Amino acid sequence: MDTRTKIVPIQEIEDRLQNRAARWVCGHFDPLLAEHVRGLARAREPGRLLVVEVTNPDQPLLAQRARAELVAALSMVDYVVLAEGRDKSPIDAGITERFVEHVVRRHQQESAR
């Protein structure tokens, strides 16, 4: 299976979900770390789809599409959408939960102390 097919335009995600329960997670994933993978595995719940929105940091190491392809390759992820330069996604209808983790930024802040 070509996991890139999990990457869908944000305008199509509501149609793909078809009113099924989903958890919406967003983050930079720049780079994708083992901690991200563990967090996504914890976010996965039976009976809910897992949608991951890949956002852009100020100075990305990897292109957004490359990061999206890495996230899409994870078996626990059902769909990946690319953030389009906005703070909040307009697709909140039908999404049962939304949370944001920026693991890399948190580690940078802790290291600076």
Between the alpha carbon of residue 6 and those of residues 24, 71, 77, the distances in Å are 14, 10, 8
4 — pLDDT class (breaks 50, 70, 90): confident
Residues 33-91: pLDDT tens digits? Answer: 999 999 999 999 898 999 999 998 889 999 999 999 999 999 999 999 998 764 444 44
Residue 20: both structure tokens together: 């099924």
Domains of the chain: 3-84 (3.40.50.620)
Angle (CA) 99 8 71, round 5°: 55
Between the alpha carbon of residue 70 and those of residues 65, 73, 91, 94, the distances in Å are 9, 5, 22, 26
pTM, entire model: 0.75
